[in-house]
Chain A
Amino acid sequence: MNAIKHSLYAAAAVLAVSAGPSLAQTTVKWMHLEVNPAQIKIWEEVAREFEAKNPGTKIEMQFLENESYKAKLPTLLQSNDRPHIIYSWAGGVLKAQVEAGVLADITDQTKDTAATISAGAMSAFTRDGRVYGLPFAQSQVGILYNKELMAKAKVDGSAIKTWDDWLAAIKALKAAGVTPLTVGGADKWPLHFYWTHLAVRLGGKAGFEAALKGQNGGFEGEVFQKSGDLMKQIVDLQPFQNGFLGFKNPQSTGFFGDGKAAMSLVISTVYHQQKALAADKVGITDDKIGWVNFPSVPGGKGEPTDTLGGINGWLVTKGAPKEAVEFVKHFVSKDVQMRLAGAGFLIPVVKGADEAISNAFMRNIAQNLARSNYHQNFYDQDLGPSVGRVVNDATAELAGGSMTPRQVAKAVQDAFKQGN
């Protein structure tokens, strides 16, 4: 009976909302990819606060899983009633979106907020002096490890400094019967971290910029071929979980959270996501989890402090109500940033908000990012929608053994030349 009553009320509520215009309701459609219910809960609170402060505005959250989102976005953006706020990793994908004219220029409305955000993060969302979105988090790619499992093979994760250290650790883990690495190979991009982080170490900033200009053979040049060779060294050790090419990223994250693999080369946010995606919803606790930066590579021209990672932000699409911009500004306000940082969900971009980071893990990441002189954005975003996808395809094929390092480099360079 209660249930019926309940659904009747719900129906009435729906009718009331759909009769919107008379109530002068503005609905802001916000599309996000977050899988951790604990973080979504805070986001919802933020949305409710905003609604309370802005009567007549409704924030409507819509979720798409990361990979589905990337597949859907190109068609999504062509629609007239696209979401008003969308997730972005900046880079070449953002550039393509700007060129396609689907984003709103929010330079003027966000001047005050932009001044509070670190210049580096802000520049990622600026094109030719115009601002198209606001960043809200930074992240780093590195090796997340499970101290208990590492101990089984008598490996100290924090002592992994060089490429050979890492290979030795993997071999030791294998010998001890522990799955050394887990990766969401079905989504492909988790595999591209290997190739691209190697390129960051081998070529440094100069190497990447030269490739963009087509110098030294572009992405077919020595740096990238060597990246493939080294990645293949890892692949040849067969370090990944059984069936890794069929694991989507959330599955792999859950696999790590369940304590079934010792390490994973991941984005720093996996630190909290593994808790949510573990079968027991607890995951690997803080005392058992460790983080070490990607090892240095012999002969590499990059600095050991160089980082690979993302700058995540919210874009406002063309035709969105002005409340959408206001909400994004609210979302990156110092107060909200500190709340999310304090809860250990992100590395904030607002100046001074990093003081709120309470746990050692996230503080370490923040320091790494602060020390870095060359922060490379994820290739699959940075190189634009088509080339980026090819990087993912090709590195996944390398991991699957169906492409050689040479072919990978050639495929990326070909895509770069095709440019479509």
Chain B
Amino acid sequence: MTDAAAASRPPFDRAALYRWLFLLFVAGFVAAPLIATLLGGFKSLGDLRTNPFGMPREWEWSNYADILLSKRYWRMLWNSFVISSLTTIITLIVAAMAAFVFAHLRFFGSRMLLNYFTMGLLFPAATAILPLFIKVRDLGLLDTYFGVVLPQVAFALAMSILLFRRFFRDLPHELLEAALVDGCSYPRFFRFVTLPLSTPILATVGTITFVHSWNSYLLPLVMLNSDAMYPWPLGIMVYQGEFTADWHLILAFITLTILPTFLLFVLAQKHIVAGLTVGAVKG
């Protein structure tokens, strides 16, 4: 790289200066709302109004503590966790199995079937949300975890199958031939050879599915009815409805609800970035 370590250059380099100014401006644009939210949660309402940007005059730890000690906060996160985990696990299993078939087996109509699944990439769940609601209702799944999980899995399938299929096809084909000669069945090969070799793609698809499900709003909004079942995006909206103008409490609540996402992001940024971008590209 020709101009590596631009920062260490002498300060009269105008281009570098402008570049840094620009980057800092964008960084401020991105970070300011987040930092203000975090700090706002520590303020009193009056403090927040007169002093939206600065440090809290008095650190009101109780805003955060009250939420952390409340049952609703943990219940929300738990619901989200259950819904996202179930969605992810089922998607991984179901999509990997289907993709395995599409990657290794040719049979009458296999191409057509693959195209059938690809149609799922073309439109969002919102287009059919009302019939979906009727269906879930008729299946008796309203207000249950599965009423959200199953449609989410179904809509994640198209992309997941394509990603898995591409990966499976790139695995050395000799492996499969050798295994078949040795009398290994397809299911056993899938279970004992393909899956263990597929950790990277499992992580990628798993990340995409989990993050989407963790953040999803429309499906739970339509399918779930009771507080006890609400995942956090719904819970936080109810909380906001309850505390309308008590912004300091709402900000503390927002901070605490995005905290898990934030921690996960910091801890597993490589996987998440790869999952959400590379995954998207290849799909």
* Residues of chain A whose beta carbon lies under 8 Å from any beta carbon of chain B: 3, 10, 29, 35, 62-65, 67-68, 72, 75-76, 78-83, 248, 250-251, 254, 277, 279
Contact = CB atoms under 8 A, between A and B. Distances in A.
5 contacts: A68-B237, A68-B241, A76-B225, A83-B226, A279-B45
Nearest to A257: B245
Contacts of B226: 29, 62, 81, 83
Interface string B233-259: 000011001101100000000000000
A82 B224 CA distance: 10
Nearest to A253: B244
A65 B133 contact: no
A254 B243 CA distance: 11
B143 A35 contact: no
A3 B71 CA distance: 12
A82 B143 CA distance: 9
Contact of A254 (B237, B241, B245): B245
B205 to A, nearest CB: 31
A18 B213 CA distance: 27
A223 B151 CA distance: 49
Nearest to B244: A250
B245 A10 contact: no
B143 A254 contact: no
A68 B239 CA distance: 11
Given A35-B242, A63-B227, A78-B133, 20 more contacts: A10-B71, A35-B244, A62-B226, A62-B227, A63-B238, A64-B238, A64-B241, A67-B241, A68-B237, A68-B241, A79-B225, A80-B140, A80-B143, A82-B225, A248-B244, A251-B245, A254-B245, A277-B244, A277-B245, A279-B245
Nearest to B223: A75
B245 A250 contact: yes
B114 interface: no
A248 B242 CA distance: 12
B38 interface: no
A251 B137 CA distance: 35
Contacts of B245: 250-251, 254, 277, 279
Nearest to A67: B241
A62 B137 CA distance: 22
Given A79-B143, A80-B142, A72 B225 contact: yes
Given A254-B244, A254-B245, A78 B137 contact: yes
7 residue pairs, one from A and one from B, having the closest CB atoms? A65-B241, A79-B142, A250-B244, A254-B245, A76-B225, A79-B225, A79-B143
Contacts of B237: 68
Contacts of A10: 71
Contact of A75 (B45, B46, B222): B222
Given A3-B69, A80-B142, A65 B222 contact: no
A204 to B, nearest CB: 36
A81 B225 contact: yes
Interface of B: 45-46, 69, 71, 133, 137, 140, 142-143, 222, 225-227, 237-238, 241-242, 244-245
B133 to A, nearest CB: 7
B140 to A, nearest CB: 6
B245 to A, nearest CB: 5
A79 B46 CA distance: 42
A71 to B, nearest CB: 9
A72 B237 CA distance: 13
B184 to A, nearest CB: 46
A68 B225 contact: no
Scoring B140, B237, B242, B244 by chain A CB atoms within 10 A of each residue's CB, the highest score goes to B244
A64 B143 CA distance: 16
Q: Which of B137, B140, B241 has the most CB of A within 10 A?
A: B241
B67 to A, nearest CB: 13
A10 B225 CA distance: 24
A82 B238 CA distance: 17
A40 to B, nearest CB: 11
Contact of A79 (B71, B137, B244): B137
A75 B241 contact: no
A199 B77 CA distance: 48
Nearest to B241: A65
Contacts of B244: 35, 65, 248, 250-251, 254, 277
Contacts of A82: 225
B52 to A, nearest CB: 15
A141 B142 CA distance: 37
Contacts of A254: 244-245
Contacts of B69: 3
Contacts of B222: 75
A35 B246 CA distance: 13
B137 A65 contact: no
Given A62-B226, A81-B226, A75 B238 contact: no
Contacts of A80: 140, 142-143
Nearest to A69: B241
A29 B245 CA distance: 28
B242 A65 contact: yes
A75 B234 CA distance: 15
A376 B38 CA distance: 47
A62 B226 CA distance: 8
B238 A81 contact: no
Contact of A68 (B45, B46, B140, B238): B238
Contacts of A75: 133, 222, 225
A47 to B, nearest CB: 16
Contacts of B46: 279
A76 to B, nearest CB: 5
Contacts of B133: 75, 78
A93 B126 CA distance: 26
A251 B247 CA distance: 11
Contacts of A76: 225
